[in-house]
Structure 1
């Protein structure tokens, strides 16, 4: 599993890992996961022509049977040798609720690799009190720290965005607080520094210990503070005036960011894809990972388009109604020049996690 908090770069890391394994002749399958359907992550995986299954409606811990069923479907359809699974970014206690059950119940089918947790260095520095201001409330931060506590490998992602001094301070802080984890630094965006991580995933098996002292009341409260929004929007008119999809995508995300900022809330992750109508493989993708950060394009459309399908996934420590209002405000700002129709929109707070299984002890042992 490739875990980590919202906005850490898990999906980019997973796609980079899939490309690395594929380049070495290994068949790869992906499992994406969210509290609701309509995932940007799944759209990106399909655009990369990867075999992927999506599990919606709860994290792997609460949808454990669905995870096993998804793996079975992938086995039948594409016979992957490597399964990469990305849990919900607000989920923790994965060793006890996913890794150990997989090993002890389905050990004849799966060898579980070390649990990896990807971190955004700027957000990690804020959580550890190393630098930066702003951030999440105590119980949301509690989830973040518990993710790091159970990690076997902590991947410091986006190292190209911070100075060497900041990286050194973060390494020192992580090593002091989470001495059991191996630290790997790199950038999923360009792939630098990540080969040792991919090699460890391929060669090693999990030996993690389940968290003993996790407080599910604090965990549930932290998740309940996060607002969730998944939406699908039709933009433009087939056969109508063409427009620059890359620029429009950035404008929409910037407008949503500004609306959330005006409401005084912290964005955990805002990501979106804009695909050509009728062609899911031709798309633009953009995201931002903090309220004080602007949107960045990771995938670009080659040509202007007349109509497209916009998928938006927004996570923030805010009332879900605030997120819906921010989306509608951004779409209204497009005006008559670019018609926008919301096809589907879900906005809610996650419910209390209720794992299917919770086993304790050391991974790799009965």
Structure 2
């Protein structure tokens, strides 16, 4: 059985901020290569891994999308050897002081995020969290050396290595959404030893954290019949235990809301129930906050679904995932894709 943990730890250690995904895309392509018939790169940088079905051409196509981009930081100014920065994607400044980072300047520079002493900050801040504009990155070089190596626009990624915890859990930055990329790898590995009627297009999309660019454009390239987005969602944990969160490690989530087509939901639900794959229904009364928002409305519109892997502490350097849920998501994707009959699309209606 394919073990996604080594691959996941590898891609968690790689940069690949939203709009700058090249480093992680190379690693994903290397991992997917043995499992697919063809690899392609879109004009915006999304990676396509294609497994061709065994039914008569023209075959229907299913698009399985997991965004590979990450949140992070970007240099805005270098002042007296200290680096000012802004966010790429949604970053909570409360979690930044004391974090280890890599500044991707003329060469990669390890650094730490420092916070000035309270007496040096405006009185209006008081005991509140220090805004990002007052935080600084120190790479330990002289002012002249730093100014020569770092410029505005240089990217900054989190640097903490992932930590294997007890009970099959992993903590680290960028599990949103590299956990789902690992689930897609599980899916492709499983499909490589199965017969399936449909062409399966696994897509590692770009820029979900900022523009949904990969989700909006990939369906135009691929022209799929249905699409599924794989992402993470909020697991129950400290301070997060109401109806908007789901149990941690107890199964994946099938999304139900405006980005979900009822017939696709029912098809995946039946497969999960048949195979005893633990799952929960995640209700989203508005937009899902995933690539499904773009996939659903691309071109003429697509019957879509989103599947989520619960994680704790989202958008922090210590996101936490249960590895069993990554396996479950990949297994469901593979089995559901393989179960699709050539005439499935002709049989679905919105009322289904």
> TM-score, with normalisation over the residues of structure 1?
0.29
More helix by share: 1
> TM-score, with normalisation over the residues of structure 2?
0.30
Structure with larger Rg: 2
